[in-house]
Amino acid sequence: MTASLIQRRLSVEHVRDLITSAPYESAHLHDVQRASFALHLRGVARPGHRRLDAWSVEHARQAPRAFLWTPGAARRTIGNATVRRAHREATTLPEALDHELDARRARAAAGYARPGSLDYWLESLPPAVLSLVRAEALTWVATLVECTRGLALPWAIVTSDAYYDLAGARTTLRGRRDLVVVPDERRVVVRLRSGQPGRYAGTGLRVDLLVDSLAEPSTPAAARMIGLWPEAGVALAVDGTLENLRAAARALVRTAGAPSTQAVHQAA
């Protein structure tokens, strides 16, 4: 099996097919493979602590930008939490969004949010900007719900991205994941991205696949990692093969040595 990339036009039918046609067997990373990967990262000497993800691999030649909260940057976190809240409270999505925003702002007002966090930023916003945040989050929610429409399979919005810390290599990895579908004994992970897939989008998907696998040491890799670009109408996917995991590991080691990739970019 090779580190191949599957491409489809984005539609409910194609997404459902990508999920149901995922292979029944996937690779399982063992301790020796994890140790080898960490050893290679330790071999790339850099000052300070590295934080790498799919975006930093896809844009390894670009200098990182300082992160600032904006309505566009906040929509994914708020939108995913809104869908989870709507299911948990059995309420409508607009109501769940209002409850989510109110709860976050209340936590910050009570002093439970650290400076620089999303909740802290939300609490400081004037009504006009808060309306923009709400509009962006509703757009994200609508896109996410549309992607799951007609999906008669068990699925859930994940509570967080996948994180894996390699203390000896002074490196933290983040794997993006928005939706997990479990059609049977398989596990399929879906992520959403804005814009259109770039030249190295497949490499980014493999990185998310690898980090998800590293963060779940007791289980095999996801049967398939699917990336959706609704604005471009494109769906890409990679299978949980050892070849794809190895390709991701090589890409992360290369990126670790690049001078411009020192921070995770929180893109929507």
Q: What is the secondary structure of 51-85 as a DSSP string?
A: EE-HHHHHTTTSPPPPP---HHHHHHHHHHHHHHH
Do residues 163 and 134 both lie within one domain? no
pLDDT of residue 261: 47
On whether residue 91 sits in a domain, the answer given is yes
| Separation between Cα atoms, residue 80 and residue 251, nearest integer Å | 28
| Domain termination residue (choose one: 91, 117, 139) | 139
pLDDT of residue 3: 64
On whether residue 234 sits in a domain, the answer given is yes
On whether residue 147 sits in a domain, the answer given is no
The domain in which residue 84 lies consists of 71-139
On whether residue 157 sits in a domain, the answer given is yes
pLDDT of residue 43: 87
Do residues 179 and 225 both lie within one domain? yes
| Separation between Cα atoms, residue 14 and residue 20, nearest integer Å | 10
pLDDT of residue 204: 97
| Separation between Cα atoms, residue 12 and residue 9, nearest integer Å | 10
Helix (H, G, I), strand (E, B) or coil at 220: coil
CA torsion through residues 188, 225, 260, 166, sign: positive
Bridge partners, 162 (sequence order)? 175
31-42 and 242-256 helices, crossing angle to 10°: 20
Do residues 171 and 128 both lie within one domain? no
Backbone angles phi, psi at 124, to 5 degrees: -90, -5
For the chain, counts of helices (H) and of strands (E): 9, 9
On whether residue 267 sits in a domain, the answer given is no
Residue-by-residue pLDDT tens, the chain, 268 positions: 456 899 999 998 999 999 999 999 999 999 999 999 999 988 886 777 889 999 999 987 666 677 899 999 999 999 999 999 999 999 999 999 999 999 999 999 999 999 999 999 999 999 999 999 999 999 999 999 888 877 778 889 999 999 999 878 889 999 999 999 998 889 999 999 989 999 999 999 999 999 999 999 899 999 999 999 999 999 999 999 999 999 999 999 999 887 654 444 555 5
Do residues 193 and 98 both lie within one domain? no
On whether residue 145 sits in a domain, the answer given is no
Degrees, nearest 5: CA angle 11-55-259: 160
Q: Please return the burial class of 102, using the count of CB atoms within 10 Å of its CB with bins 0-12, 13-18 and 19+.
A: exposed
DSSP state of 176: -
Do residues 39 and 160 both lie within one domain? yes
Structural contact between residues 208 and 189, judged by C-beta atoms closer than 8 angstroms: yes
On whether residue 62 sits in a domain, the answer given is no
pLDDT of residue 262: 47
Where b means 16+ CB within 10 Å and e means fewer, 146-158 reads ebbeebeeebebb
Do residues 245 and 197 both lie within one domain? yes
| Separation between Cα atoms, residue 151 and residue 19, nearest integer Å | 9
| Domain termination residue (choose one: 139, 163, 198) | 139
pLDDT of residue 263: 46
Longest CA pairwise span in the chain (Å): 54
On whether residue 122 sits in a domain, the answer given is yes
Radius of gyration of the chain (CA): 19
